A and B are shown apart, each in its own frame.
Chain A
Amino acid sequence: MNTALSWIKEYVPELTCTDQEYCDRMTLTGTKVEGYERLDKNLEKIVVGEIVKIEKHPDADKLIVCQVNIGTEEIQIVTGAPNVKEGDKVPVVLDGGKVAGGHDGGPLPEEGIKIKAGKLRGVPSGGMMCSIEELGSSRDMYPEAPEDGIYILHKEAVPGEDAIALLGLHDTVFEYEITSNRVDCYSVLGIAREAAATFDKPFVPPVVTVKENDEDVNDYISVEVQDTDLCTRYCARVCTNIKIGPSPEWMQRRLAASGIRPINNLVDITNYVMEEYGQPMHAFDLDTIAGKKIIVRRAKDGDEFQTLDGQVRKLDKDILMICDAEKEIGIAGIMGGENSKITDEVKTVLFEAACFNGPNIRKSAKRIGLRTDASGKFEKGLDPRNARAAIDRACQLIQELGCGEVTKGCVDVCVPLNPLLLLPFEPDKYNALLGTEVEKQHMLNIFEQLEIKPIANSCGDIALEIPSFRQDILRMVDLAEEVARFYGYDKIPVTLPNSTSTTGKLSFKLRVEQKARDIAEYCGFSQGMSYSFESPKVFDKLCLAKDDKARDAITIANPLGEDFSIMRTIPLNGMLTSLSTNYNRRNKDVRLYELGNIYIPKALPLTELPDERMQFTLGFYGEGDFYTLKGVVEEFLESIGMKEKCIYNPDAGKRFLHPGRQAAVSYKGTAIGYLGEVHPEVCDNYDIGTKVYVAVLDMPVILPFASFERKYEGIAKYPAVSRDISMVVPKTVLAGEIEAVLVQRGGKLLESYRLFDVYEGGQIKEGCKSMAYSVSFRAKDRTLEEADITGAMKKILNGLEQLGAQLRQ
């Protein structure tokens, strides 16, 4: 909301402060000032000049030479403006002064434009006559200004006077951010009331008295509200003998400063009152209203209606309409109809100020796809008591500004108004909540400024009567906030909770995730983050089977677009997209990880909350291979206390991975994730021209195995004995199978084993590979004897032979 300070000052006449003070103090009491703009910014040394004489420029057809009286002297100014004549009074910027902008009305330069005396085509010019654009304003605010030329001041202007003051430009427009609970502050009066309380100055609202003629409004109109649930009050007044013309300059400027284009006296008055009171009004041409009757009722499904912007709108039974005896003439609270719109020929006007159901207006406006200034105000839920005040104010202005006559009375159809809310005055509770010691009287003073009336009962208890425009004040805490705002948030003490102590901690799940981050980073992986929603096309991109369960994804009903329309069920798209971004930006050796949820529906469509599963995803390209990633996985598992060997099953069944380079990982018989090289087709789909490796660990299944408990197992006292086993095995035998034999047959004495050589080709038989292990034995309680070793080795070698291994000497 934008408002000129001069308008606020009309209701708080004693308000004196700098713009910055106003901005700061209003913000600190809760009326946040987003910014402000001085209308006289960069306007310096600009006075009224009277053009005494005009001559042609000797050397330029399009220039003229003017002698201008600036009060103290006469100066010569050369101009190209076509619209000036002798005797005109114009704004003149003197030598060394400044104007705000160029005559083209383009964006204003930050520092303005300096004006110096000089020569134009050889003729001296001691200043410049200004257009409204050069004064930093526009024809919206000054519609009387010529389209292209110098602004002509009114005849009474005195040469030498401050032209900026004359134009009312010594003013500042403030932009406010009003919170949704303060409907009353979407009005100049509401803000002025806050300003008065903030600066502790009297608030002087306009005195509304309507001079009526002798005609009775009831002879012109009757009102019937059929759907009182959607319209709690409907006020109608009639003005006759309407004379359409421009509204006064002060009104035009205030509207323009608020961002509303002045149109004519009638439209301007309704807009002015809407700004001033926050109450939208509508004006109908009474001669277009059939049967002298207004009926407020719901539309029917499928009805159509042409609004005054010429568009045809589709209606339904929840949209409230304003109708006459025969037809619909307006969509309540949103926009009037083409059929009853005001034209310049209007003679008699019907004013409407009503109170419609806020949520209904909001939803209706949304369905119709038409949000107007009026609907924006109605949807917040207006104070029904305000409607009458506003319509009277509009009629007052009609009469005072000579726009027409006002008939006697107001047709006011209103469901019984709720009585004003009474709340007990509870100063101790306010102080207890705030942690303050504000005096009772201070609180009462604050309430008085806010028009919250203390009413003492016979027992001496005080109740507070909440004014109807303060729909946000409902209980004790709301009053405590009023005290806090005007006592000053900055004056409230600063303390720390003085209560039961609690243990600060991270949940176990978060600790495990922290470990995952640590290990990934030690291993060179950087943390990425990707969106939780993605395109349904990713399943094809990842070559998932048509019946893959991962395709059963949760769909967002109102996504930002198809690309963000489903909740991910698999974390790989984000990872591959990020790797692709890096690859295509020619970043080398990129290693990323992500910790993020996937969302697995229990049933579709969703009736229960889905299973949100944290996935630890690793991915990289460049230096490294499958085993690099396998190493990271094992480092992580060990770091969270999962010391047992994982089983890697090459038949992971992942279509997005290389069929010969993938493994399902299980721990103690439970599947915990998978890893592998990304299928070249998938790499193509992601536009990555190199090998990519990924690993995905399903954290919820890992958590029960994880532990941060550690126990010292002692350092071996007796020596270890190691033996090397060298063998040739068929290629199809996996290292995992050989190791299973080592573990199983090596028994308790086997301490560790290590693969130190794998070799294929050369002297090795076709279809076979040579493998060599170093096996280490140790007992905790004694030095091993040769017989122990021989026994264990024999068992191992037997087992290996069963696998088809030929031992090499």
Chain B
Amino acid sequence: MKEKLSQIRAHAIAQIENSDALEKLNEVRVNILGKKGELTAVLKSMKDVAPEERPKVGQMVNETREEIERLLETAKKKMESAAREARMKAEVIDVTLPAKKNVIGHRHPNTIALEEVERIFVGMGYEVVEGPEVERDYYNFEALNIPADHPAKDEQDTFYIAGDILLRTQTSSIQIREMEKGRMPIRMLAPGRVFRADEVDATHSPSFHQVEGLVIDKNITFADLKGTLAEFAKELFGEETKVKFRPHHFPFTEPSAEMDVTCFKCGGKGCRFCKGSGWIEILGCGMVHPHVLEMCNINPEEYTGFAFGVGLERIALLKYEIDDMRLLYENDIRFLKQF
């Protein structure tokens, strides 16, 4: 019996080794382990074995069966893995063929610049608000300390509509509307379209965008203005950016300043981009003029504040190195796609 079993085992191993396909392995299984298989036959012949021998023989049969099954399984796995390898070999693709891309549209560079500015100031607790583009003289000029005969009115060539209605020349008008609401403190950021009667050329447009910032609270200082805008410049143009404040004049702020940042092309060494100075003018700012506060019924003895105005196109042109402002309003897809 023992001999018979080892014969079956040897036979099975030989057959398994000779199998070169899954079907053949299956045949081996049927031939040996199947209902009519050799090993099954041995089991069937157990009745001829002496009763005291049966447990021992049964164990031997089982061991042989398990071994053959194990061998079959191993051979099967090996065969399957070989087949998979072969299939994958045939499935090689050219990974350098072009990508299949979803066509995604592009934001206008002005908007990208605006969202950057918004992100920075919203993070500092500013609320983004808007105001009308067609505005009254009072909000655009008078309440900003630019009375009827003020020469500054000529400096900003205004488009007039009728009576005291005009196209706003600055987003500063939104400061007034916000202050009039009388809710303190104020930290607002007001982006928007503004209009000035400039002929279209590479650096001028009769319609462009500004972002106005305003902070009103107790104990706001010029130092706070400097600190806030220095943070802004670093966020927008990079950690190494330095700022310089130069005295300037705006009717609605006092003291007033213009802020320059170190040229982000040369880092301040001086290049063609910054005309050799190492600095680039970015924005105008100042402490809100007490008369402006008074006109909005805010007591300048109690509250102070600062305001600033940034030209969005200026930021976009500088940041993205766009050399002609007209490109921003042509909407040529080859231009827009670059942002």
Contacts and interface: CB of A to CB of B under 8 A. Distances in A.
Interface of A: 27-30, 32, 179-182, 358-359, 362, 379-380, 432-436, 472, 475-478, 480-481, 484-485, 489-490, 492-507, 509-510, 517, 520-533, 554-560, 564, 567, 578, 581-582, 585, 587, 589-593, 597, 599, 605-607, 609-610, 612
Interface in B235-284: 244-249, 251, 254-257
B133 interface: yes
30 contacts: A28-B246, A28-B247, A434-B221, A476-B290, A477-B287, A481-B247, A490-B245, A497-B215, A497-B228, A499-B220, A500-B217, A502-B126, A504-B122, A517-B107, A527-B111, A527-B336, A528-B331, A531-B206, A531-B329, A532-B193, A533-B195, A567-B161, A582-B332, A587-B334, A590-B333, A591-B105, A592-B331, A597-B133, A609-B132, A609-B165
B106 A526 contact: yes
A578 B228 contact: no
Interface string B138-168: 0000000000010110110001111101010
A526 B337 contact: yes
Contact of A609 (B135, B248, B334): B135
Nearest to B218: A499
A131 B242 CA distance: 46
Contact of A505 (B103, B122, B165, B206): B122
B31 interface: no
B118 A362 contact: no
B95 interface: no
Contacts of B134: 554, 567, 599, 606, 609-610, 612
A108 B256 CA distance: 38
The 5 nearest A-B residue pairs measured at CB: A435-B223, A435-B221, A30-B247, A359-B149, A179-B249
B162 A605 contact: yes
Nearest to A497: B224
A477 B254 contact: yes
B139 to A, nearest CB: 10
Contacts of B257: 489
Contacts of A358: 149, 151
B201 to A, nearest CB: 12
B185 interface: yes
A527 to B, nearest CB: 4
B247 A485 contact: yes
Interface string B285-303: 0010110000000000000
A111 to B, nearest CB: 15
B226 interface: yes
Contacts of A560: 197, 199-200, 206
B231 interface: yes
B314 interface: no
A30 B254 CA distance: 13
B71 interface: no
B13 interface: no
Given A489-B226, A581-B330, A612-B133, 11 more contacts: A435-B221, A477-B254, A477-B255, A489-B245, A494-B226, A496-B227, A507-B127, A527-B108, A557-B162, A582-B333, A609-B135
Contacts of B255: 434, 477, 480-481, 484-485
A499 B219 contact: yes
Nearest to A429: B301
Contacts of B247: 28-30, 481, 484-485, 489
A590 B102 CA distance: 15
B329 A530 contact: yes
Interface of B is mostly: mixed
A587 B130 contact: no
Given A435-B222, A517-B111, A180 B160 contact: no
B103 A180 contact: no
B161 A593 contact: no
B51 interface: no
B41 interface: no
Given A492-B226, A496-B227, A504 B126 contact: yes
Given A521-B104, A525-B105, A555-B161, A478 B152 contact: no
Interface string B187-201: 100000101010110
Contact of A510 (B130, B152, B244): B130
B124 interface: yes
A14 to B, nearest CB: 24
A476 B206 CA distance: 37
B272 to A, nearest CB: 13
Contacts of A590: 333
A555 B224 CA distance: 43
B226 A477 contact: no
Contacts of A609: 132, 134-136, 165
Contacts of B251: 181
A558 B127 contact: no
B222 A484 contact: yes
A495 B332 contact: no
B160 A592 contact: no
Nearest to A558: B160
Contact of A527 (B107, B165, B231): B107
A522 B102 CA distance: 9
B133 A435 contact: no
A778 B334 CA distance: 49
B301 to A, nearest CB: 9
B304 A433 contact: yes
B153 to A, nearest CB: 10
Interface in B303-338: 304, 328-334, 336-337
Contacts of B248: 30, 32, 179
A494 B130 CA distance: 29
B128 interface: yes
Nearest to A485: B247
B123 interface: yes
A582 B336 CA distance: 11
A154 B150 CA distance: 51
Contacts of A530: 329, 331
Contacts of B136: 609
Nearest to B247: A30
Contacts of B60: none
B199 to A, nearest CB: 6
A524 B254 contact: no
User: Which of B122, B228, B245 is packed against the most chain A CB atoms within 10 Å?
Assistant: B245
Nearest to A575: B331
Contacts of A485: 247, 255
A610 B336 CA distance: 31
A591 B104 CA distance: 10
B125 interface: yes
User: Which of B107, B159, B244, B334 is packed against the most chain A CB atoms within 10 Å?
Assistant: B159
Nearest to B231: A496
A578 B331 contact: yes
Contacts of A477: 254-255, 287, 289-290
Contacts of A610: 134
B105 A496 contact: no
